[in-house]
Structures are given as C-alpha cells and as structure tokens.
Copies of this chain bind each other. A is one copy, B any other.
Amino acid sequence: MDDSIKQLAHQLVEKISRAVRKESKQNFYKLGKTVGLGADGTPTSYIDQIAEDVALKLLQKAKAPVNLLSEEIGFVDFHGDYVFVLDPVDGTRNASRGIPFYSVSLAVGTSHIHDVTYGIVKNIPTGDVFSAEKHHGAFFNTTPIRVCDVPSTHIVSSIALGKNYTTTAGALSKKHNVRSFGAASLEMCMVALGGLDYYYVGRDVMRVVDIAASTLIVREAGGVVKNRRGEDLDMPFSLTEHTSVLAACSEHLATQLLSKA
C-alpha cells in the first residue's frame, strides 16, 4: 500500500484523538449527550459527532483516493480506491463517563475485513498506538508485538457481559482472571500485545467499524479472530451486519473455549 495513504491514516487518527482529548478536558459532562441518530441506527453522541467532523474535513481537504465508512455518518464516496473504515470513538460510554479506556480505530481496505491491509488503533487516554500492515507484523508504538505464549500459566480474559451476556460468556466468567473493559478494538489489541489470552463477545453486536483494524492487528501478532461458531471472522464493509467475536492467542485455545460452549 502507498505510503501516502498510511500517512493520511495516521494523520486522521492523531487529529481525532487530539479533538477527543480536548473535548474530554473541556466539556466532560457533554461528551455522552445524544445529538441524533447515526447511520447504524444507534444514537450519535456529541463526542462521536465531533470526531467524525474532524475526519470528514481532513478527507475532503486531502483529496486522496479514499472513501469513508464511519459509525455515524455511514458511507461517504470520494471516488477512492480504498475505504477508511472508521470508529471515531470506540468505547463511547467509557469516554463519556470519564473511564480511561477508549480508542480511535481505523482500517484501510476495499470491501471486506479479509482485504484490510492496514490497521491503526490508538488508545486515546494513554496515547499509545497499535498498528499492523498485512504480512508485515503488528506494533505497539514502534515495538513489534506477539500474542502471549501458549499455554499461559495464568489465563487473563476479557468477556462482554451485562446487556451482551450469553450462556457461554457466563460460563467463561467463572474461570481464570476475568476482565471486561468495554472497548472492543482496544481489548483485541490487548490480545495482540499478550496482555489478554482471549477476548469474547457472544452476541451478534459487533460492527465492522469496531473490529476491522484490530482483527488485522491480532492476526499479524500471531493470534486468531473467529465468530462464535469458530469460523475465521470476515464481514463486508457495511453497517447493517453484526457479528460475535472470539480473539485468542492461538487456534488451540479458541477451539478449546468454543468446544465448551
């Protein structure tokens, strides 16, 4: 992929991150306020709108061959060869309540998760950046990363619970060291980094904008990304499709976890 496209992607992520950080300091109690309905049918919060405005302005100005698919605004056709698949704020609820675990997620591809060639996830509160290029590995800032060794002595997982509770999630939540952070892209990057052994969402609630970048990052770090039926995860660049997710440090662990389901 052209270096100028990668640079544009990083520039976009940095600009959004800066805008969100600024708002989180200045307008703390406004961040989660609903300002309308997004293209995916869910309410748009103030913070999502701020972030998308930044994205649109930059892409209009850049005149690069890049279209945009974003959570709230939907698909914007700039007659490009690539699509930027963007979640301007993943973990909006955390962001809007001051919980320091949320991110910007941006994937570059053409039509499906399987053809994503570049992915960036930036942890906004800490400033750390995860990235991956297809066939070139995954990085935490500038350091190459790998999923954790198998078998891990003390398994640490992150599991979607509450509204996204399923029987399998419930069974898994009784074992090991369980976390649940509420920002899928960043939780998947924790698998890529070796921080988590696996991340599980049992319900069909994840959209392509949430997971397109982090799926590449996990795979390039040596991990696997599946749906709850154990199929390698793929989905089109569309806001109407939803999926379950199992990101794990190994095929073996993924099989083990799903066979107990």
Contacts and interface: CB of A to CB of B under 8 A. Distances in A.
Contacts of A180: 161, 178-180
A190 B195 CA distance: 22
A100 interface: yes
A177 B180 CA distance: 10
Interface string A180-208: 11100000001001111000000000000
A135 interface: no
Interface in A90-105: 93-94, 97-101
Contact of A154 (B93, B126, B156, B170): B93
A125 interface: yes
Contact of A97 (B94, B100, B194): B194
How many copies of this chain does the complex contain? 2
Specify the main secondary structure of chain A where it touches its partner: loop
A128 B100 contact: yes
A260 interface: no
A61 interface: no
B179 A174 contact: no
A176 B195 contact: no
Contact of A98 (B98, B174, B193): B193
B176 A173 contact: no
A162 B190 contact: no
A63 interface: no
B177 A99 contact: no
Interface of A: 93-94, 97-101, 123, 125-126, 128, 140, 148, 154, 156-157, 159, 161-163, 165, 170, 173-182, 190, 193-196
6 contacts: A93-B177, A97-B195, A125-B125, A161-B173, A162-B176, A179-B180
7 closest cross-chain pairs (CB), A and B: A162-B178, A161-B178, A97-B195, A99-B195, A180-B180, A98-B195, A165-B174
